[in-house]
């Protein structure tokens, strides 16, 4: 009789525990699926919260083993497209509409967390010995710390899975438990058949921009007052002007605008804002114009996701495009977080002052 009762109790315990996961099981299952994938495609949306504003992107991620990455980001508000591309030739952030690209000397994405790259999510949960697992009605949630060296306010993330450990969503939080980044996956293909041709820089060049800027044959009939003739070529004179000056909403304590200078360059107006005080810095603004030929601009540093654009950040500067303006922010006094705070605050419409 005792033996029968023991067997019944054992069977009940076995059935009760069946199907339940612990954190080790969940991490192993998630990491195994990702690490066994030779190439994958992800499609979804990414929301970036900045104050009371939310910036939403359509996002497509492509990965192939041996360090091939392509991340296509399209701003839903203004349809501005940028692509982060990594292949054996280097790391690029391409802006097709401007026919330009930054080329980075960087080890991205290994040097930071990325909510839209599966390997980085795996590394985050594996590197956190205190990662936790929560079972929900819809599946599971893994909570882990994150590593965003250029954004110290981001402290932890929640990764959402269904019952079969298929990833559904990632939320990245600050230390006040506010979601600052949310990536929602609409489709995940871990068996995508990608090859090297899917990661070519030449395929990202905006040929329409080059064609639109091609000079036409020069004659009195087709050369307007705004154009000049160089031999038999009709060239449009550049007369780009800034409709407004954008001032930062965030300025460090005991620092003020000391000068504002507008100068004419070969491509149009350039505004130089100088701030002086405890934290000196300079902001340069000019009209962003498309290049006639595809231009690759070498930079040191890493890609930086700002509110409305992917820029380039180094130890003492940030450069980026937003709307129809190119920005360059430089300082030997500002910390990395202060540089980013100033840069993000430039998008605030209350700081726009017309130059007209």
What superfamily does domain 244-354 belong to in CATH?
Answer: MucB/RseB, C-terminal domain (3.30.200.100)
Tokens standing for residue 249: 């909403």
State the Cα–Cα distance between residues 81 and 127, nearest whole angstrom.
33
Which residue would you say has higher pLDDT here, 268 or 17? Answer: 268
Region 112-131: mean pLDDT is 96
Q: If you average pLDDT over every residue of the chain, what do you get? A: 86
Question: What pLDDT, on a 0 to 100 scale, did the predictor assign at position 75?
Answer: 94
- How large is the average pLDDT for residues 105-114? 92
pLDDT at 240 exceeding the cut of 70: no
DSSP state of 229: E
Q: Give 251 or 20, the one with higher predicted confidence.
A: 251
CATH number of 25-189: 2.50.20.10
Q: Are strands 295-300 and 100-105 parallel, antiparallel or unpaired?
A: parallel
The whole-number pLDDT of residue 232 equals: 53
Q: What would the mean pLDDT of 81-107 be, rounded to a whole number?
A: 94
- Residue boundaries of the structural domains of the chain: 25-189, 244-354
Q: Over the stretch 199-234, which tens digit does the pLDDT of each residue have?
A: 999 988 755 544 555 444 555 555 444 455 555 555
- When pLDDT is cut at 50, 70 and 90, the band that residue 338 belongs to is very high
Cα–Cα dist 116/44, whole Å: 9
Burial (CB count within 10 angstroms: exposed 0-12, middle 13-18, buried 19+), residue 17: exposed
Query: What percentage of the chain reaches a pLDDT higher than 90?
Result: 67
């Amino acid at each position: 009789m005792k033996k029968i009762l023991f067997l019944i109790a054992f069977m009940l315990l076995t059935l009760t525990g069946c199907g339940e996961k612990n954190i080790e099981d969940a991490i192993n299952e998630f990491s195994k699926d990702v690490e066994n994938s030779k190439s994958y495609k992800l499609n979804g949306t990414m929301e970036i919260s900045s104050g009371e504003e939310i910036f939403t992107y359509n996002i497509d991620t492509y990965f192939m083993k041996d360090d091939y990455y392509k991340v296509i980001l399209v701003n839903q508000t203004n349809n501005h497209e940028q692509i982060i591309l990594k292949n054996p030739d280097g790391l690029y952030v391409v802006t097709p509409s401007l026919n330009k690209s930054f080329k980075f000397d960087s080890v991205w994405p290994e040097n930071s967390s990325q909510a839209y790259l599966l390997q980085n999510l795996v590394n985050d949960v594996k590197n956190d010995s205190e990662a936790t697992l929560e079972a929900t009605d819809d599946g599971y949630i893994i909570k882990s710390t994150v590593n965003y060296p250029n954004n110290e306010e981001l402290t932890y993330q929640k990764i959402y899975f269904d019952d079969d450990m298929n990833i559904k969503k990632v939320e990245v939080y600050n230390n006040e438990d506010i979601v600052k980044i949310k990536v929602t996956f609409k489709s995940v293909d871990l068996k995508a058949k990608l090859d090297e041709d899917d990661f070519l820089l030449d395929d990202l060049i905006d040929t329409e921009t080059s064609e639109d800027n091609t000079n036409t044959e020069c004659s009195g009939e087709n050369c307007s007052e705004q154009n000049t003739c160089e031999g038999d070529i009709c060239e449009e004179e550049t007369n780009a002007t800034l409709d407004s000056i954008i001032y930062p909403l965030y300025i460090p304590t005991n620092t003020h605008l000391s000068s504002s200078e507008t100068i004419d360059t070969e491509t149009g107006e350039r505004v130089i804002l100088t701030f002086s005080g405890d934290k000196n810095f300079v902001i340069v603004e000019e009209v962003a114009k498309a290049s006639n030929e595809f231009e690759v601009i070498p930079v040191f540093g890493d890609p930086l996701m700002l509110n409305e654009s992917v820029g380039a950040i180094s130890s003492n500067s940030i450069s980026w495009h937003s709307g129809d303006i190119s920005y360059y922010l430089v300082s030997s006094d500002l910390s990395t977080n202060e540089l980013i705070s100033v840069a993000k605050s430039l998008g605030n419409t209350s700081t726009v002052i017309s130059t007209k």
